[in-house]
Structure 1
Amino acid sequence: MIQPVDLRRRLRLPMICSPLFIISNPALVIAQCQAGVVGSFPALNARPIARLEEWLAQITEELAAWDRDHPGQPAAPFAVNQIVHRSNDRLQQDLELCVKWKAPIVITSLGAREDVNDIVHSYGGITLHDVTTNTYARKAVEKGADGLILVAAGAGGHSGSQSPFALVQEVREWFDGPVVLSGAIATGDAILAAQAMGADYAYI
């Protein structure tokens, strides 16, 4: 299992490249991981579902080859974003493929589910859950999420509305696990500012 401290050691920057709907694909994820930051993609970008296995195989195999050729600069782990809302009728099949290919990190969105966290933990993966409020953050941790992605004002996709200053402070009062901050972060200075506020990683 990739513990939070191990994840930091495998990154050149404390940065997770956010999963971009339609845009994120294996080539982009592989390049991000080879550059030393977490690359990610939404599972639903791979259509039809058979393509998800092709993507997972390609990413896993190419990163393994990179690691063999670059022992002094191994690739960062990759992440798969899963929409865990009950309306996603692909979720179970997509999770089975994540188990088969041992996706190192699974980012969960739109609902905190203990069963999903248990599935990812079964093979040693870690889960990071998108939250927009302190209330949702508590719920996610209660359901077994390993870390939190705080989606603050300025974030893309399912954006939050809270100030990152307020949200990070609220969560850090009770949670000492991995925190990723999302919202209008685009530079190294902003990554440093996110860390100064109490986040471990920036979501870009």
Structure 2
Amino acid sequence: MTTKLTQLLQIKYPIIQAPMFLVSNVAMVTEAMKSGIAGCIPALNYRTLDELRDAIRALKENKVEGGSFGFNLIVNKSNVKYKGQLEVICEEGCDFIITSLGNPQDTINQAHAVGIKVFCDVTDLHFAKKVENLGADAAIAVNNEAGGHRGNLSPQELIKQLTQHISIPVISAGGVGCKADIDKMLGYGAEGVSVGSPFIASIEAGVTDDYKQACVDYNANDIVMTERISGTPCTVINTPYVQKIGTKATWLERMLNKNKKLKKWVKMIRFSIGMKATENAAKKATYKTVWVAGPSIEHTKEILPVRDIVALLT
């Protein structure tokens, strides 16, 4: 299967195993590469730059022909680790970087200088045009079926809007849980897809068996939006605990968010608290189950090795 994405990354299938906070790891991406797709890990999954460097070196050792690996960078000012992460990635090398939540100009400049491709998350045509003008190699079109922080437009509407008005490849993110979904996205005009939630229930994923099993037991109708993790609406599985704490920001957060001077700090505090709760739920046995996932878990029927999940997608 040849598309602009397979040509860009020299992979067999036009699929990126999406970067997932707390979930993605070296083992998952290694198996993704062996299966002929690309794999990506959030740089924030590593607490220190030395850990990030070790992960890059391990992936370089594990790389095989037909596979590709990259890292996701949060490129806004709230990520105080960003500059150091970008420096390490450019020093050690990888195939691509996916940028999120900010201006990717520095990333594009530094990555291109060492031969690393840069794909940028976008949710609409306005930002897609911006990243194209900045020199991005592709746009990751985050639609309203994506897991985590999603866009507002349907896959079909967003892909067609972008392919008609930008010239760089469009990679669709969201709403892919089986081969038929991939065929549909390519039919809309995408050059590839970014797939996340189906890989949560992989043997290699670094989360609890309870989290993995939840992706099997729950379905698309059980995915809800919550403001209780990062302050920005995020999709989670509607567990009893999520139902108990609710999905809306507290009255105090809503009030403080109206103050322009305090809004930034409120979001940072909420993000810190929410991320810690999510980490505990993902990594430990706890009743406080805040599990991030998207509606594509509808097609997840059992916990499988990454290679078997890729086989079902291709």
TM-score, L = length of structure 1: 0.89
Q: 1:158 aligns with which of 139, 144, 149?
A: 149
Matching residue of 2:27: 27
1:123 aligns with 2:124: no
Deviation at 1:78, TM superposition (A): 0.4
The Cα offsets for residues 100-141 of structure 1, whole Å up to 9 and x where unpaired, read as 121110000001321210001001111000011111111111
Verify: 1:15 aligned to 2:6, yes or no. Answer: no
Quote the residue 1:55 is aligned against.
55
Spell out, residue by residue over 1:3-48, the C-alpha distance to the aligned partner (whole angstroms, 9 max, x if none): 856336x322211110010010111111111111001100000112
Task: Flag structure 1 segments of 5+ consecutive residues without an equivalent.
Answer: 68-73
Q: Is the 8 A contact 1:112 1:129 kept in 2?
A: no
How far, CA to CA, are the matches of 1:188 and 1:21 in structure 2? 24
Judge conservation of contact 1:112–1:139 (CA < 8 Å) in 2.
no
Matched residue pairs, number? 192
CA contact (8 A) 1:129 1:140 kept: yes
Aligned to 1:202: 193
Larger radius of gyration: 2
> Matches of 1:180 and 1:109 in 2, distance apart?
14
Structure 2: runs of 5 or more not aligned? 196-314
Between the aligned residues of both structures, percent identity stands at 30
The AA in structure 1 aligned to 2:7 is D
Cα contact 2:128–2:166 (8 A) shared by 1: no
Pair 1:4–1:183, CA change in 2 (3 A): closer
Partner of 1:44: 44
Asked if 1:81 corresponds to 2:72, the answer is yes
Q: Report if aligned partners of 1:112, 1:143 keep a CA contact under 8 Å in 2.
A: no
TM-score, structure 2 length as denominator?
0.59
Structure with more helix by fraction: 2
Q: Give the letter for the 1:28 counterpart.
A: M
RMSD, aligned CA: 1.4
SS in 2 for 1:168: helix
- The letter of the residue matching 1:189 is A
Deviation digits for residues 127-181 of structure 1 (CA, Å, limit 9, x no counterpart):
0000111111111112221100000011012111111111111111122222110
> Which of structure 1's runs of 4+ aligned residues deviate more than 2 A?
3-8
